[in-house]
Amino acid sequence: MRYVILLLLVLPLMLMAEPLSCSPPTLQPVCSTQDLSPHSGATAFSLPLLAFNPIHLRDGNKYLKETDYVPHPAAPDLELVRHYDSMATHYSAFGSHWQLSYDIRLVEYSEAPHIVLPNGMRFNLSSASGRLTQAGHQRIWHTPHNEAWYFDRFGWLQRIQRPHTPPLHIYRYAHGPLLHRIHFIEQSQQRLTFSYDSSQPALVQHIQTPAGVIYYDYQPLPDSTLYQLHQVRFPDQRRLHYHHEAQYQSQNAGLITGKSIQLHPHAPLRRVRSWVYNTRKQAHFMMAETPSQWIRLHFPQATHPHQTHIDSPQGRTTVHFSSHTRGEIERVTGALCWACPPTLTQHPHSIQLAHARFDRQLRWWEGNPLGWPQLRLEYDARHRLTAWSSATLGPTQLRYDKHGRAQQMHYPNGDRQQVHYSDTGVVQRIDYYSGHDTMQTHLRRPNRIIYSCSNLMKRKA
């Protein structure tokens, strides 16, 4: 049953994400639950411009997200995530075109205060998105979901406090050549420690993580004193390589034209992605590991100002944009391919796919996935799954406690389950009710075994 529930929870997201790729940035990216982004309120959903491959379907911007370190459950915000933006002009601690997920700034000198996120988007701060307060030299943004984001007097993110989660602290250098660079990041007694080289501006040389040391290698940009990220070496001997072939950059030095993985230092490189750019830094060609998996994009121009054509071995797919609302996709027609958005039509209140449709407020989803005829999923205002039913299954309801945790499940036959949590939010007990029968499952954390060279130690986790 747990696998069925998992399917129901992720099914809508499966429709919005392409395997081996990630949608371009949104406030709540569907590709990752770990992104350090503010939680947005309930707004009408519109198909993102990047659709289902990481190339902006209208502007041609190449976006790439790399996760070097996945958070531990005890420190859910302690991550290493890099964002690549082909059209960006910034030069960060990871070289040209890269930003770290913690490179978040509060900007107040403009007419509308906003937060600049590392994935390229700006989050405007209004009365509906929370409030700003002052505490000494810190500015604190209080979000509608009871989060508190702390920024220093220069606007750099210093701390994140989420409900029922240990605070995340970001410590930056206060002076010298590493001014504003991250020194270390902590959450729940776990730490990421950054070390830099002697170049100017300084580049991250390696990062000490709870899983080991991650190394970053660079190459000089042609005819420049700056550098581009060339290789990432992981504690388990894996390596990630970035290619920068001039013949595919159209005289735009620093653009990534390919990505390869290496299982260990002596293994052959396995190229999994390739990109070709035009002079405007638009990625107009992409190929996967298999040569038959490729797409060529023709972006809007005078002859078709509101259309992007995508050619692939399967034929041509056309993305039709609204002539009234910039960037909104009205419909997708033509062939289906591995990296194309699905054929669809956006209506004022719903989006119609080939075999499913869903509400633009993301309050319900209806479709016919294999084995689930006439499946309907329902969500609350926070986009949490609350009920599901099908032609062969009556409505099942899922309820949450005041902390947003799944607490009760009510089945069509009257059976139900209830989850009990400890003061720290850990599941302690699950009660099962069926008619007059009651069963309980108690969960306890096992002892963790720690081995050393000379002795065996046993302590409570």
Query: What is the sign of the dihedral through the CA atoms of 188, 191, 192 and 196?
Result: positive
- What residue type is assigned to position 52 of the chain? F
pLDDT tens-digit map of 207-258: 999 999 999 999 999 989 999 999 999 999 999 999 999 999 999 999 999 9
> In the structure encoding, which two tokens stand for residue 151, read together?
């920024």
Averaged over 31-46, what is the pLDDT? Answer: 48
pLDDT at residue 2 in the model: 40
Dist. CA 217–CA 239, nearest whole Å: 11
Q: Which residue has the tokens 């930003």?
A: 99
pLDDT at residue 272 in the model: 94
Q: Between β-strands 157-161 and 148-151, what pairing exists: parallel, antiparallel or unpaired?
A: antiparallel
Averaged over 10-22, what is the pLDDT? Answer: 37
Query: Do residues 85 and 94 lie in contact, with contact meaning Cβ atoms separated by under 8 Å?
Result: no
- Domains of the chain, by residue range, sit at 62-289, 368-442
pLDDT at residue 33 in the model: 30
Secondary structure class of 327 (helix, strand, coil): coil
User: In Å, how far are 74, 358, 369 from 11, measured between CA atoms?
Assistant: 27, 12, 9
Q: How confident is the model at residue 402 (pLDDT cuts 50, 70, 90)?
A: confident
> In the structure encoding, which two tokens stand for residue 430, read together?
């699950």
Helix and strand element counts for the chain (H, E) = 1, 39
Averaged over 360-380, what is the pLDDT? Answer: 88
Alpha carbons within 13 A on the beta-carbon side of 361:
9
Considering the entire predicted model, what is its pTM? 0.76
Dist. CA 14–CA 248, nearest whole Å: 32
Interior angle at CA 19, CA 17 and CA 23, nearest 5 = 40
